[in-house]
Chain A
Amino acid sequence: MTSQQILRIKSVTIKNFRAYHGDSGPILFSRDQSSPVTIFHGTNGLGKTSLFNAIHWGIYGKERKSKDHKTKSEGLVNSYVIDTISDGVDDEMFVKIQIENQNEDLQYEIQRKILLSKEGIGTDLITSDVLGGKVPRYIVANNEVIFSYKDPDSDDGELLKTSNPITVSSLLKKIFPRQLSNFFLLDGELLDDFMNSNDAFVKNGIEQISQLPLLVNAVKKIKFTSNKVGTGATSNRTNYTLTQDKISKKEIIRDKLKKDLPQIASETSELERQLDDGIRMILKYDADTVKTNQEQIEINKTTLKLLEVNIKDNKSKIQNLVYQNLDKMLMKNAYESASIKYKKYVEEKKLPSKFSKDILEQLLHTHECVCGRNLDEDKTAIDKIQDMLSVSYDSTLGVSMNKIVEQTSDIVNTSKDNLSLVGEIKECNTQISKYRIKRIDVKGLIESLEKELDKIKDEKLEDIRTNNNKLKIQIKDKSNLAHEKTLVLNSLNMELDNLDREFLKLKRLTIKDGHAVNKMKLAEYIETTLNKSHEQLRKEFVEQVQSATQELFMKTGPQARVFESISIDKNTFAISALRAKDKSKDISRGQAHVLGISFINAIRKITTKNYFMIIDSPFNNISQQERIDVCNEIPTSHKNTQLTFLVTDSEYKANIEEADLPSVRETLKKHNIIGCEYNLIQKPLAKIKSEEYFETSVEDYN
């Protein structure tokens, strides 16, 4: 082990702490290396444990835990002070501890104080955390601590001071770790705790004092860092692979989409072409077309009617020609014959004239000629008239005959031109044929137009419309599909861009991870090495402690010869003594007591911290021989250690005559190791009503 840091208590000053009333003044502790032992002795209940607790409270701000864990109703402050505190007169309780090094240089001064005052009149008892017990309600208590310490960078002996409770607590924790309290503030009644494998306080203390966890903590930190690096590396590698897979899958989808889109576009174009055809069909057969068609039909029907009228007209013309001429042609010869006769009658002047029968008869009756000549005188004339009367006719008939003759002549003359009649009839027939042919054409045209119209009105057109609507829906669907696919494609492209970036990043990280893996391997190697070192150090520490404990115990332990060895659990540091025989038999209380002291001494011996050691009841429950053995061993086992024993008078001064054994004091005196010796004496302090108050005073033994 390296050079030890030695700390000694120079003095302890107590005021109004429990049994101690008033200011004790500095109680000096022995700092002589040759006589390092300071003794406080007294009868039971006089304040040994209070003194022990005062020092503990001074350092840690709380009393040491009691074996029986009883809650004391009395507080930290002397009860007389509490009961007699007056209005407007403040009081206080404090413990001041001065600590120096082996060169008697003052290193630390701890002054922990409770300031007391009286406020109000409430006399009911309340529990005060500050005072650590029940006190009247009117008591007001406030903590105060002042810590003075040597400036490590200065040699002028001046101490730096701080009164900030947090700073003080932090500084004291570093100098006097709580876990180490067992090794310098030792309760003899609790020595057998060292054999309890479940006592974490002991284990933590040993680990703190030995600094063994340093390597384990280093391993933990390396492992944590390595895991962090490793986790990241694994994560990056996994993400790298996953991203690569993701990219591949998305690229497959994208390629499929890229193939799909032109196909959809082609299908859409085909559908649009079909729709265009359909629309053209619809447009072709739209209302205007129908109207035009109907108009054409009407025009052609009119033409047809006209043709039919023409045919009819020609037929009528032929009919008229036939009707007007056939009878005349049939009687052509008769007309001609009659006409010849008529001409002859005309030439012969036989035709009836206006001088008709009536006139002739009138002439005969009047006998007067038109010229006024008297016919009675002309018999010849009368005879002639009478001849004429035999062939004369009614004048009406005469007029008609002239007309008949005339018109018959006309008929005969007209009938001579009968060839032109034939030509006329032929022309009419030609016209009729022409009109008939034209009529067939027009009828065909009308039929064709009507068929076309029927077609327009046909359900086929409705089918086209239905089909067009279907095509529109299909085109819309295709368009939507293309739109959706385009969106997905765009989204995929974006995702792929992001993934590509992520992939590149992960690629870089994965390369870095290669280095991380190397770091992990290095960390693993360091972990293994440190773990081995730790195991080795722990083993060596345990072996050293075990060896030192065994050496001390074998020398000082009562009937130690029944034990063949001492064993320390390397994990819990629980100590046990192994019997040579009767292995199941328990270790005695005295043996356990010495074993605990031996264990503490062994640990202190091989660690760097050589602090003062204050033991309350060091000889509790052990035999006088064992006490003497312990005392005999002190000069060698506690070399350079300031020892303070708080002992009862019976343990300290008793002389066991039957066994012819010296007392503890005689033994220590024999070795000349007692530097300071104090007697704790109880004195009456006051009597208030029926209540008597006592105080403990620390008096020099001599």
Chain B
Amino acid sequence: MIQLPPGWFSSNFYYDVDDTEVNEFYSKIENKSPTVTKSSMFFGLRQWDIFRYSLALGVYHKKDLDFKRVSANIPTDWLHDQDIIAMFAAVFSSKDVSLEILQDPKKIQIMCENFANYGVRKLIEINSQIDMGNPIKEYESLLTSIISQNN
């Protein structure tokens, strides 16, 4: 288990609460948030899983989107190894990032939040296209498409 030094990240991560769709997507509102929607791939998962996928999509599209940080609502207590690894990969994959960034964990957080802020919109988009009969169809297609592109 990866243990970051206490207080290394702030206690909560931010998402764009001003954007209603984003806000509802992260919240625990049924049929709005995939974590409480049974048909969703994210049903029963953590907000961090949405954040990690949003981060991945942002990284995939190589785009980030800064936003006004009103309130931090994703508690770092619930962080898993895969989230940390993903966030470090996202940060260190940038050419202009060096090991010194470890001295500035705040920057890592902001970079990841911005990638995720972009990626969450893509995720919302994909999620809105979900086939009720096959809720992971879009994700599956995306996965096979990426794999085929890579090969």
Contact = CB atoms under 8 A, between A and B. Distances in A.
A407 B81 contact: yes
B17 to A, nearest CB: 23
A327 B147 contact: no
Q: How large is the interface on B (under 10, 10 to 19, 20 to 34, 35 or more residues)?
A: 35 or more
A337 B91 CA distance: 10
Interface string B58-71: 01100000000000
Contacts of B140: 318, 322, 425
A322 B41 contact: yes
A332 interface: yes
A327 B41 contact: no
Interface stretch (A74-82, A271-279, A388-396, A494-502): A388-396
A525 interface: no
Contacts of A327: 52-53, 55-56, 82, 86
B99 A391 contact: yes
B88 A338 contact: yes
Interface in A571-592: none
A231 B86 CA distance: 143
Please tell me the size bucket of the interface on A.
Answer: 35 or more
A326 B8 contact: no
B132 interface: no
Chain A contact residues: helix, strand, loop or mixed: helix
Most buried by B among A334, A342, A393, A407: A334
Nearest to B119: A330
A334 B136 contact: no
Interface in B34-73: 41, 52-53, 55-57, 59-60
Contact of A337 (B8, B53, B60, B93): B93
A616 B30 CA distance: 167
Interface stretch (A287-295, A397-405, A648-656): A397-405
Contacts of B91: 338
Given A326-B142, A393-B102, A411-B85, A334 B41 contact: no
B10 interface: no
B5 A329 contact: no
B84 A400 contact: yes
B125 to A, nearest CB: 14
22 contacts: A322-B136, A323-B136, A326-B56, A326-B143, A327-B56, A329-B146, A331-B55, A331-B93, A334-B90, A335-B93, A336-B93, A338-B89, A338-B91, A338-B93, A339-B89, A394-B5, A394-B8, A397-B8, A403-B2, A404-B2, A404-B88, A425-B143
Given A338-B91, A352-B102, 11 more contacts: A325-B143, A330-B56, A330-B59, A331-B60, A333-B59, A393-B102, A394-B5, A404-B2, A404-B85, A407-B85, A425-B143
A-B pairs with the 3 shortest C-beta distances?
A334-B93, A330-B56, A337-B93
